[in-house]
Amino acid sequence: MFNLEAVTPYLNSGTLILTPNNRLKNKLLLAFGKQQGAADLWRTPKVQSLNEWLTERWQHYQNLDDLRHLRVVASPMVTRQLWTACLEASANTNPLVHPRLLVEQLDQAYSYLKLWRVTPQQWQAYGSDADRVRLQAWIDRFETHLASLGLMTEAQKLTLLAETLEQQADALEQRDSNAKPTVCLLNFDTLSPLHETLLARSFSALERVNSNQQPAPHSSRTECTDPAQEMWAAARWAKNHFKQNLHQSIAIIDPNLGRNRARLERVLARELEPSHHLPTSPRFTMPFNFSAGTPLALCPIVLDAINTLNWHQSKSPEDANYWLNSPFIGHAEDRDLRHWLMTQILKKTRPEITLTAVSQLLNAAGEQSDLCTSEALTLWQDGIGQLQRWPASQSGKAWASTILSSLNHFNWPGPRRLDSEEHQQVKQFLSLLEQLAEADWLNKPLTRADMMGWLKELTSRQPFQPQTPESPLQILGTLESGGLAFDRIWVLGMDDSQWPPAPNPNPLIPALLQRELNMPHASAERELAFCQSLTNNYLHAAKEVVFSHAKRDGDRELTVSPLIAHLPLSQQEQASAPGFTAPTFEWLQTLAAPPVSARELNHLRGGSGMLQKQSRCPLAAFMELRLFAKRPDPASPGLTALARGNILHQALFYFWQAKPDLSALTQEAIDQQLLAAVDAALNEINVERQARYLANEKARLVRLLRPWIGFEQQRPHFDIHSLEQGLSLTLGQLPLQLRLDRIDSIDGQWLLIDYKSGATDPKKWLGSRPEEPQLPLYAIALTDRHEPVAGIAFAELRQKDQKLLGIAKTPFCPGIMLPDAKSVGFADWPTLVNHWRESLLNLAEELMTGVTPLQFSSPQSEAYLAHLSPLLRQAEQTSLAQYFPVSEASS
């Protein structure tokens, strides 16, 4: 991957060769080592990257005890923190400006001013005085703060080094003008004026060399439909060439590799290793290397470590369960405990889960002996307790120790054996923890929030590149490919919108000054020259070079870049994402399920809701009751609908439990009893709410119940026979546990009442499959016990309407229909009760014997069960019908 021909004279003469980056240096040394073959001994070539050479020179002057060189170079993270502090302390900072973006722009502007050696006189000649004064004030505050801490920036280090070299070079030239050596600058496209000065003062001659000097025999361009198809075409092209010769080197170059890395990696993996995504495929090293790594923070093992530490803020239920389900924490024997915790978190239906809530759940788990061993539970309680005892603030070095201790409490990185990449990620993360000590350079402790900010930024800016064997297929960015040689190259994204890209000057430095000094991204002319240089390098870096561009990106039309428009247009294979081969389906008839076994019956417990589910849709009832397919209730910032319904029931229970005589009480006395009942109901719920929220809920309940009590006052005389009465009933072989809200006694006859806070319809008691079976079930059970049941009714408590709706053999009040009414259609009350007995028994037998057709009782039931549609597959019934003829389906 490197052509040694151009640098061989420098290697043989022992001349120092400087490269722009470590990648190119390593490739050169690797190629040189291979060239030596079986030789036992050879002279080590003098090859360094530019940064290595500068660091070596800096250390040399530090060893001379020059006080100017004894300051510590601040890390990028410390530098950004200092810029942030300067902005926070400045009255000139616009509060609408994004602080993080402004910090990046300030840091870049400061580096440009230093690297391009901008003098005050140059700066004053451009831009408005207000802009210049504001930027200079930020810089002065920044440099003062740096000096007070004994720190300096990388740009300041290079400036000081240049001044030192200039002084020594003048003295050296006076003694011996031939004392300075020559240097070979290999594949440098551009250098800042400060770097030029450093090199010019250190060497007598700067000889610039390009390693690739032979033009490609075959170069062309190709057009693709869109960026996705362009990636597939490049991947297919590489695959086809490897089929012809596996021992060739191929590069795919993407100017936007940082943005497209994940998508390009998926395309290459799918094309070159089609089975890699299958669950049965072990994890293995892909046959390609990326020059751009992924942020360490996005690696699952590191992300879960950060999630473990990030409990100083509450989490959403989804994030909390994601953390609990992580394979990188916990122990092998605590799986059931974690699953139980996840279930309880979903049942809480809270929008936020705190560390205190998790601790309370762990205490509750201790009361259930079958979840896990006491040792596993203790380990989790200790881990949560350790996080709760975190100090409010401490030094960065102390935080690193605290973090390690907390992660060890949760057994991070987990009980299973790690693979090679995960080991590397853990090692890199632990090394980053040491950088937290750099926060101590700022002479102030870190709060918990500050520490997490440091940790997240360190890991998000640290690229992870796994150490893997060299691959014949290299995926490179524009800069990483410079100077390397391949057999074949494909360059992506060569459209006119990004090659050359639009100028992007720094907004804090006058644009005219940036253009005058030819700073990076300052002008269209500079971008054009830079891209022309890179394009020329590509055309000399391989035997075959293919440039590609998309004709469209979404709704935006694209054209070829003018830098490659002169190349001949070739027709490459227009590849696209491969389709999946449809598997051979194993069809399962769902009209019937296995009958409920005696063992299953021990766990099949419930009330009228089981028959209600069977009535609405038998297949959905099977999924929910026997397969436990349940959608968690959505998180709510307030009380859920179920909780509000329970409070309403309890408030009415407490009100009638006091046995008030509505005819004798004044409205004031009734209101007092109503308020007391609502308070008692609210005191029962275990809810973490602010007092103001509960006061609003109390006011809502009072507004709802006051007109209902008024309605009850207008009814003919009645007595409360029972409240919240429980009853056991076995229907066929199905045991049921029932509970009724209220039984009224009217002239010795019973009216069974069920409270409802929404709209009701007594017709749902009728038909062959009653959708609301609770009251009919209670009527059957009490009638069989020879109780004087004479009717059932919904008590509809809505803000705009308060009424009783029901059926009875006696019209107790308005809203109560007789069985022989036209809308009911039965001769008398006993006939209706017998109908309920037969129809509900049929539903119970269906449930017990496994009758499971996909049939909905009404469109409303289908909408209510929409969350089960992926299991019920009702939307696919038309297409499935071709596999199941009607005669077969009905059999």
Alpha helices in 116-153 (DSSP H): 120-124, 129-148
Q: How far apart are the first and last CA of the chain?
A: 70
- For residue 164, name the pLDDT band (cuts at 50, 70, 90): confident
Q: What is the mean pLDDT of residues 211-235?
A: 92
Pick from 403, 400, 394, 391: nearest CA to 446:
394
DSSP for residue 353: B
Q: What angle do CA 766, 767, 768 make, to 5 degrees?
A: 130
d(CA 610, CA 612): 5
The per-residue pLDDT for 888 is: 43
Pick from 369, 371, 304: nearest CA to 335:
371
> In this structure, what token pair is assigned to residue 676?
């007391």
Q: Which amino acid is at 734?
A: L
For residue 604, pLDDT over 80 is answered with yes
Half-sphere exposure of 269 (CA within 13 A, CB side): 16
Residue carrying the six token digits 């942030």: 84
Least confident of 51-55, 535-539, 592-596: 592-596
| pLDDT tens digits, 862-884 | 888 888 888 888 777 776 666 65
**Please, are residues 214 and 190 in contact by the beta-carbon 8 Å criterion?**
no
Does 227 sit behind a cis peptide bond, omega within 30 degrees of 0 on the bond before it? no
For residue 557, pLDDT over 60 is answered with yes
The per-residue pLDDT for 175 is: 52
Pick from 222, 218, 220: nearest CA to 575:
222
> In this structure, what token pair is assigned to residue 230?
């362009």
Decide the pairing of beta strands 72-73 and 151-152: parallel
d(CA 755, CA 795): 5
The per-residue pLDDT for 441 is: 92
d(CA 1, CA 27): 7
**Please, are residues 447 and 503 in contact by the beta-carbon 8 Å criterion?**
no
| pLDDT tens digits, 176-206 | 555 678 999 999 988 999 999 999 988 989 9
The per-residue pLDDT for 94 is: 61
Q: What is the mean pLDDT of residues 106-111?
A: 94
The residue among 581 and 378 whose pLDDT is bigger is: 378
Grouping H, G, I as helix, E, B as strand and the rest as coil, residue 749 is strand
The per-residue pLDDT for 889 is: 40
Q: What is the mean pLDDT of residues 538-562?
A: 93
Grouping H, G, I as helix, E, B as strand and the rest as coil, residue 744 is strand
The per-residue pLDDT for 171 is: 58
| pLDDT tens digits, 350-409 | 778 889 889 989 988 887 767 777 888 888 999 999 999 999 999 999 999 999 999 999
For residue 109, pLDDT over 70 is answered with yes
d(CA 233, CA 570): 13
> Mean pLDDT over all residues of the chain?
87
| pLDDT tens digits, 694-726 | 888 888 899 999 999 989 988 899 999 999 998
| Residues in CB range of 547: below 8 A, 6 or more apart | 219, 220, 221, 222, 490, 491, 494, 538, 561, 564, 567
**Please, are residues 488 and 86 in contact by the beta-carbon 8 Å criterion?**
no
Q: What is the mean pLDDT of residues 118-142?
A: 82
Alpha helices in 772-872 (DSSP H): 774-784, 829-849, 859-864, 869-872
**Please, are residues 409 and 379 in contact by the beta-carbon 8 Å criterion?**
yes
Pick from 799, 803, 800: nearest CA to 648:
799
> How many other CB atoms are there within 10 angstroms of residue 71's CB atom?
17
Q: What is the mean pLDDT of residues 784-798?
A: 93
Pick from 857, 610, 589, 590: nearest CA to 733:
610
Alpha helices in 71-188 (DSSP H): 76-89, 99-115, 120-124, 129-148, 154-175
For residue 126, pLDDT over 90 is answered with no
The per-residue pLDDT for 845 is: 95
**Please, are residues 107 and 80 in contact by the beta-carbon 8 Å criterion?**
yes
**Please, are residues 729 and 777 in contact by the beta-carbon 8 Å criterion?**
yes
The residue among 130 and 431 whose pLDDT is bigger is: 431
Q: What percent of the chain has pLDDT over 90?
A: 51
d(CA 717, CA 745): 9
For residue 39, pLDDT over 80 is answered with no
Alpha-carbon Rg for the chain in angstroms: 39
| Residues in CB range of 552: below 8 A, 6 or more apart | 225, 226, 558
Grouping H, G, I as helix, E, B as strand and the rest as coil, residue 656 is helix
> In this structure, what token pair is assigned to residue 129?
């005085």
d(CA 517, CA 190): 13
DSSP for residue 741: E
Residues constituting the chain: 891
The per-residue pLDDT for 786 is: 93
The per-residue pLDDT for 323 is: 93
| Residues in CB range of 76: below 8 A, 6 or more apart | 107, 461
d(CA 351, CA 349): 7
Half-sphere exposure of 688 (CA within 13 A, CB side): 12
| pLDDT tens digits, 289-298 | 888 788 999 9
